[in-house]
């Protein structure tokens, strides 16, 4: 399994930040050190299986809700999100600043007219699918000062080969225990969505993580997790009646046959 192999590699060959002046801290004020690998690249063939973790459950509904909040609602306000995962990054109005969905809502001038990045992506997949220029990027340097958190998963490059929609997800940094499969599952769903509304088939998702790290207090949790038995991948069922990207809801996605190990509770989160 990709997740197990990645974790074993980080634990066995990763670089420790001990002795460095790290930014992140634990709730008790202690420095949150990590062991990391640079430039981890994981590949998932979405035509073969849906890449959701079975060692412990991933809340796919919540993951999809966050993905729709960013890519479909193009929102930066947690009042439009149905989970509390962004609460610590929001101000009193609910805004996370000019981050994530805010960037996707900005309209840009192209030769064909004015579009935001998502609408331009949808246009290209319909009218010019074999373009090698289909990129969505949320890392806008001009607005970084106004973001409560710099984007972690910040860009996607799309490439159609034959009738398969492939994508590269670029991520500057990732907390492997807390966020890895959350991001993999939600962006796998995004590729399926885009393929469906573009009359394509979901192909390969390539996940590039510049700084793939396991926090020091997560190491025993990860070691226990990767020694659990894995279960067969479930099947992702999508409402095939949906023809517009903006018509999808969380209810349009169902996992058939999802079996997993028990959840790990009370995971400490570095901030």
Active site (catalytic) residues: 152
Residue 271 assigned as binding residue: no
215 is in an annotated binding site: yes
- Binding residue per annotation — 43? no
Distance of CA 116 to the CA centre of its chain: 20
The reply to whether 240 sits in an annotated binding site is no
Task: Report residue 84 as tokens.
Answer: 């509390």
Tell whether residue 183 is among the known ligand binding residues.
yes
* 102 marked as part of a ligand binding site: no
Buried b (16+ CB within 10 A) or exposed e, 195-212: bbbbebebbbbbbbbbbb
Structure tokens at 204: 């390969």
Own/partner pairs for 136-144, CB < 8 Å, 24+ apart? Answer: 136/104, 137/103, 138/99, 138/100, 138/103, 138/104, 139/172, 140/98, 140/103, 140/106, 143/98, 143/99, 143/102, 143/103
Q: Is 133 annotated as a binding residue?
A: yes
Is 23 annotated as belonging to a binding site?
no
Determine if residue 166 is labeled as part of a ligand binding site: no
CA distance 7 to 206: 17
User: Which residues are documented as binding site?
Assistant: 59, 132-133, 172-175, 183, 213-215, 270
Detail the residues annotated as belonging to a binding site for dUMP: 132-133, 172-175, 183, 213-215
């Amino acid at each position: 399994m990709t997740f197990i192999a990645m974790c074993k590699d980080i634990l066995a060959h990763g670089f420790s930040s001990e002795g460095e002046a790290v930014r992140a801290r634990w709730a008790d004020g202690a420095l949150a050190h990590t062991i990391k690998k640079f430039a981890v690249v994981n590949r998932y063939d979405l035509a073969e299986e849906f890449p959701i973790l079975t060692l412990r459950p991933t809340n796919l509904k919540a993951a999809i809700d966050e993905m729709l909040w960013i890519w479909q609602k193009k929102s930066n306000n947690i009042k439009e999100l149905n989970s509390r995962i962004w609460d610590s990054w929001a101000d009193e109005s609910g805004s996370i600043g000019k981050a994530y969905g805010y960037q996707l809502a900005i309209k840009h001038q192209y030769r064909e007219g004015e579009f935001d990045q998502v609408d331009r992506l949808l246009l290209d997949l319909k009218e010019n699918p074999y373009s090698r220029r289909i990129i969505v990027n949320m890392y806008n340097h001009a607005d970084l000062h106004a973001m409560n958190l710099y984007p972690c998963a910040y860009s996607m490059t799309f490439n159609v080969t034959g009738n398969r929609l492939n994508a590269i997800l670029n991520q500057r940094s990732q907390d492997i225990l807390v966020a890895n499969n959350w991001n993999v599952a939600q962006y796998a769903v995004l590729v399926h969505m885009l393929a469906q509304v573009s009359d394509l088939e979901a192909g390969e998702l390539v996940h590039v993580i510049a700084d793939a790290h396991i926090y020091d207090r997560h190491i025993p949790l990860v070691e226990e997790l990767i020694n659990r038995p894995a279960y067969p991948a479930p099947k992702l069922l999508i409402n095939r009646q949906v023809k517009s990207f903006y018509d999808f809801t969380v209810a349009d996605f169902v996992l058939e046959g999802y079996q997993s190990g028990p959840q790990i509770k009370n995971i400490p989160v570095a901030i």
